[in-house]
Amino acid sequence: MPLLNNEIVERVAVLVPRRRHHEHIYPHGDGVGGAGAAIALNTNANDNTNAAASTMNYWGEPSLVLTPAVIITQYYFVGCYLTLAAAGGQSKRFHGEFYMLCVYNQSERNAGNAWDEAATVLTVADGTCFEVDDLVWIVSTGHTDGEIQIVADVTGDVVTVVREASQFGAANTGLRWNHTIDGTTETMYLCERATDPVWTLFDFEYESESARRTARYVWAGTKTMPDCAGLIARILNETDSTNGLEIEVKIIYNHG
């Protein structure tokens, strides 16, 4: 028996996808209580001793963009949306970096000295996660955006770190924050290893000539992220030393 015209249309509609391309945005409001506000990145750096300050071409503190294990499957980091925040300031040029966090390349504090401001010798449960010249992200319940340090030595489970050059000069060394005093569950994550392409970071440049301008960036090659991988990001001001400049970020990803 021949099909009627409306039956043909109905059956074809089942075969043709209604959405030919889809990408995920995070953070993304789900309409049922899940918040979707963008993550603020700030040019300021500070520590337990020094007030927040921004100096041209020096990194601000990192911000946690995607908590590890929020996305529990492998995914592809495609790019990001950047928007000048209300405190961003017009006609400023920013440089930024994303770093990957992985639940399989981290270790918690294990005895030893406290992980507090100026400490350089940190004992972890598993020192095999880290190598000399790694960048590591150190986080605790008291400082949930963490801080980035450089690994200077790994001897067994003892990791020696050194602070990057900062707005505060050579007199400031070691950790920026009192992780043990102010919180619990102090953890060190590998976030960048220059000798391993798996751990190469993503850089971006952003310049805004008008308030609230949004730009969409897609990486030249998408980054395959392991299951449960997270992201942190930080920015610096390439224009001047104005304090407190912000841009807002959301990431673009898909599942292939």
Decide if 58 is inside a domain. Answer: yes
At residue 89, what is the residue type? G
**pLDDT confidence of residue 20:** 54
Decide if 107 is inside a domain. Answer: yes
Burial of 59 (0-12, 13-18, 19+ CB in 10 A): buried
Tell me: pLDDT of 35 over 80: no
Decide if 5 is inside a domain. Answer: no
Decide if 96 is inside a domain. Answer: yes
DSSP 163: P
Beta pairing class for 135-140 and 187-192: antiparallel
Q: Which domain holds residue 128?
A: 23-254
Tell me: pLDDT of 18 over 70: no
DSSP 124: B
d(CA 240, CA 222): 32
Burial of 129 (0-12, 13-18, 19+ CB in 10 A): buried
**pLDDT confidence of residue 77:** 95
Half-sphere exposure of 143 (CA within 13 A, CB side): 25
Short-list 113, 177, 165, CA closest to 139: 177
Decide if 14 is inside a domain. Answer: no
- The mean per-residue pLDDT over the stretch 194-203 comes to 89
Write out pLDDT tens, residues 138-171: 999 999 999 999 999 999 999 999 999 888 877 7
Average pLDDT taken over every residue of the chain: 89
CB neighbourhood size of 254 (10 A): 13
Tell me: pLDDT of 39 over 50: yes
In the chain, what percentage of residues exceed pLDDT 90? 71
Look up residue 192 and give its two tokens: 């960048």
Better-scored residue on pLDDT, 247 or 211: 247
**pLDDT confidence of residue 9:** 46
Write out pLDDT tens, residues 44-90: 999 999 999 999 999 999 999 999 999 999 999 999 999 988 777 78
Tell me: pLDDT of 215 over 80: yes
**pLDDT confidence of residue 134:** 97
Decide if 97 is inside a domain. Answer: yes
Decide if 13 is inside a domain. Answer: no
At residue 35, what is the residue type? A
Show the CA angle centred on residue 245, arms to residues 240 and 250, nearest 5°. Answer: 125
Confidence of residue 12 (pLDDT cuts 50, 70, 90): very low
**pLDDT confidence of residue 30:** 77
pTM confidence score: 0.88
Decide if 68 is inside a domain. Answer: yes
Write out pLDDT tens, residues 76-87: 999 999 998 877
Intra-chain end-to-end CA distance of the chain, in Å: 41
Confidence of residue 91 (pLDDT cuts 50, 70, 90): confident
d(CA 231, CA 223): 12
Q: How many domains does the structure of the chain reveal? A: 1
